[in-house]
Structure 1
Amino acid sequence: MANFVFHAADSRGDANHGWLHSRHTFSFAGYFDAERMHFGALRVLNDDVVAAGMGFGKHPHDNMEIISIPLEGDLEHKDSMNNVAVIRHGDVQVMSAGTGITHSEYNKNSDRTVKFLQIWVIPNKGNVEPRYDQITLNPADRVNTFQQIISPNPDDAGVWIHQDAWFHLAKFDAGHEDTYTFKREGNGLYIFNLKGKITVEGKEMVDRDGLGISDTNAVTIKAESDAEFLLMEVPMLK
């Protein structure tokens, strides 16, 4: 029988620093909940809003797969690998921190906020050579289907990470229903509902709700309204 863990949007950690308003699904920085440390290899899911012209100064990371998905606005990235890039809504960025990197992220615009998801995945190997990649997606490819954006395979669709994990974005019209089949036996699936109302195996989710599902190999998702959501399939680490 499948196991479910539900995280209502308003139950997340709430950190408002003025220039940054972040909602934490899992324990992060000043927010700690022993029951919400991670979902399998999914360690961090931060829903960030950065004020105009503001951002994160240079800071280090190591041995983590870091994924950024902009939802609105433009985010400028600079790192110790000499990458300088702007990621926008429709892009996906990934960094394998490996042996260690430093980077900064700033809202490139002085007149509007930037909203993005910051996601950390625990890698399946340590001390790899740091790497950076980003792609621009076609939003039409997720309408009433699952658009793959991350996998373990460099030759597969989307970007790749050092973990047996697959991420998909979906944009369902009201009434549409589809079944997601897990890519790897023993993995779990964490669904983060971006907007709209969906039901997952009969469980209702609204804006920014999260739902983790394990001990199954497929889930059926139905849009009760026009909806957009992110699927994150990850190994269920202890």
Structure 2
Amino acid sequence: MNTVLHKSNTRGSAEHGWLQAKHTFSFASYFNPERMSFGVLRVLNDDVIAAGMGFGTHPHDNMEIITIPLEGDLEHKDSMNNTAVIKSGDIQVLSAGSGITHSEYNKNKDRPVKLLQIWVLPNKHNVSPRYDQISLNIEDRHNKFQQVLSPNSNDSGVWIHQEAWFSMIDIDEGKSMNYRLKNPEKNGVYLFVLNGKATINNQLVEDRDGYGLWNTSEIEIVANSNAELLLMEVPMSNR
């Protein structure tokens, strides 16, 4: 088994006044040649957008972009004429494919919005752009893995053009759970701690830590406190 630990305080930072961002992997002005990606997981940004502010219209192509709001309401508009608001409990996916423009704004004028934005390299290029969002039942992740993303359009959660599976779990202190990889021969798992503390295969992880494991078929999670975790199972190579 191989592992990589990214402590919360080692992430890149960006402070733009209206935006506070933490970058697990190299992004924008933060560059670390040892922190380029975890397999096809290219970007994991932990963003706080000030009230009424946001990202103006900008382009993307050939990237699977997943947004998970943690607090507040985020308004999305794109060149496919989609206008939507996503909130805590939702998950949004944008397959940029052959090219798309979009904007993202904090819909509220009185409080910040907090979100994760995740980029995954696709296994198909120049596909037709696609947008989707769903609302999740948070109760379905209490002491069990709630699948929120997969490669399959008829499976639980949203889907993307990649052999990847995302799951979320809210685990009670003292509880132990085992995650079995869908494709252990090709995939690894990157765990991101939304809050709390847990021991992953004997490694302690805490708030906003990231921990990647590969060349293994199963991962043991023991909660040292009540904890919320995001598990991202992704191919370690795009070939």
TM-score (ref. length: structure 2): 0.98
Distance 2:113 2:191 in 1: 22
1:148 paired with 2:147, answer: yes
Q: Does 1:98 align with 2:107?
A: no
- How far residue 237 of structure 1 moved from its aligned partner, in angstroms, is 1.4
Counterparts of residues 203-222 of structure 1 (less than 5 Å): 203-222=203-222
Letter aligned with residue 236 of structure 1: M
- Gapped regions of structure 2 (runs ≥ 5): none
1:133-152 CA-to-partner distances (Å, cap 9, x unmatched) read 00000000000011000000
Q: Residue 175 of structure 1 aligns to which amino acid in structure 2?
A: G
1:127 is matched with: 126
Cross-structure match for 1:197: 197
Counterpart check, 1:16 vs 2:15: yes
1:229 lines up with 2:238 in the alignment: no
Aligned: 1:116 with 2:109: no
Q: For 1:16 and 1:218, how far apart are their aligned partners in 2? A: 38
What TM-score, normalized to structure 1? 0.99
Per-residue deviation, 1:186? 1.7
Q: Alpha-carbon deviation of 1:88?
A: 0.2
- State the Cα deviation string for residues 121-173 of structure 1 (Å, max 9, x = none): 00001000000000000000000011000000000000000000000010001
Structure 2 distance, partners of 1:183, 1:95, is 23
**Structure 1 runs not aligned, ≥5 long:** none
Q: Report the counterpart of residue 60 of structure 2 in structure 1.
A: 61
2:165 matched to 1:159? Answer: no
State the superposition RMSD in angstroms.
0.6
Aligned length: 237
Once the two structures are aligned, what percentage of the paired residues are identical?
Answer: 65
Which segments of structure 1 move beyond 3 Å, counting only runs of 4 or more? none
Deviations 1:11-68 (A, max 9, x none): 0001010000000000000000000000001000000000000000000000000000
What is aligned with 1:37? 36
